[in-house]
Amino acid sequence: MIKAGIIGSTGYAGAELAGLLLGHPEAEVVWYGSRSYVGEEYASLYRNMFRMVDAKCMDDNMEELAAQADVIFTATPQGLCASLMNDGILEKAKVVDLSADFRIKDVKIYEKWYGLEHKSPGYIGEAVYGLCEINREDVKKARLVANPGCYTTCSILTLYPLVKEGLIDVSSIIIDAKSGTSGAGRGAKVPNLFCEVNESIKAYGIAGHRHTPEIEEQLGYACGEKVVLNFTPHLVPMNRGILATAYASLRKPVSYGEVRAAYEKYYGNEFFIRLLPEGVYPETRWVEGSNFVDINFKIDGRTGRIIAVGALDNLVKGAAGQAAQNMNLMFGLPEAMGLGRAPMFP
């Protein structure tokens, strides 16, 4: 059994991961870390775990945890994992970081967009960007994985074949994305209160959301050139889910079959990416609670543009599910182990 520790187990992503690992046949959670609730029964914080988890919350001592665990998941605010990272930890345990600390390769860009001084830039080069469908072979060999963000996972996977195959002008990309409120975390914030969110939708982080450079960097690797794009996220009054609608100009006229072939080339054998039939477009309700990503596209011949749409569950494929998927790869397990549950509906 893989012994797993979760730092930040009482946040939404950490709790989702705890639930997934509880049903994983080859893993067990040995450390439910939470700086805010040390000593409290985990099941008293998440009643859905009553009679399923008997453990108490522990602190965020990664040194001690590394001596007990094979893998450490850090579902923590930006900056914490970087501040705790050292060689001793990585010599004892593998680390999957769900924060942005090791996602961006240029430390200056990270510090600019996140407003933080990076505490361990020496590990950025080693960290593998854990988008499994694209970096699978590198993840298998990694001891430190940077788990991608939810908006970024959806946006990158939706656009990747178009960018990789040179079908679109990357300078024309516009991404319009919507997220459920769990994406904002479990902390008490006035803008996230029920009365503030319900019966409303709003854009935020306009022209400055911190997932922007992550998307640009990864799509830049795909096409081999610098990518600058517009990314605008929106908050919608639902618990979970992300829908990303991306627009871009085609480099030349293409048929549906040509574009479909590009998507099939990269995703045709991917279990967790579902390419929908022609004319059927992703909806968050059909991926909720699962590790699946639904993707489709529409060619707009009138404008010479293509519209690509992707949907995923921000807490599963956008966070905890992808983290477990990375763990499976890192330990040589079947990639979908413990992650095959069907989307929940209704």
How does 254-289 read in b/e, with b if 16+ C-beta sit within 10 Å?
Answer: beeeebbebbeebbeebebbbbbeeeebbebebbbb
Residue ranges of the alpha helices (H) in 284-320?
Answer: none
Q: How far apart are CA 192 and CA 194, in angstroms?
A: 6
Residue 92 CA to residue 8 CA, distance in Å, equals: 20
d(CA 295, CA 275): 5
* Surface-to-core class of residue 247, CB atoms within 10 Å of its CB (0-12 exposed, 13-18 middle, 19+ buried): middle
Q: Measure Cα distances from 90 to 27, 67, 142, 289, 296 in Å.
A: 19, 10, 10, 31, 39
Contact predicate 293/310, CB 8 Å: yes
CB atoms within 10 A of CB 242: 30
Q: What is the maximal distance between C-alpha atoms in the chain?
A: 62
| Structure tokens given for 275 | 């390419």
Is position 223 annotated as part of the catalytic site? Answer: no
Catalytic annotation, pick one of 57, 81, 132, 150: 150
Catalytic residue positions, numbered: 150
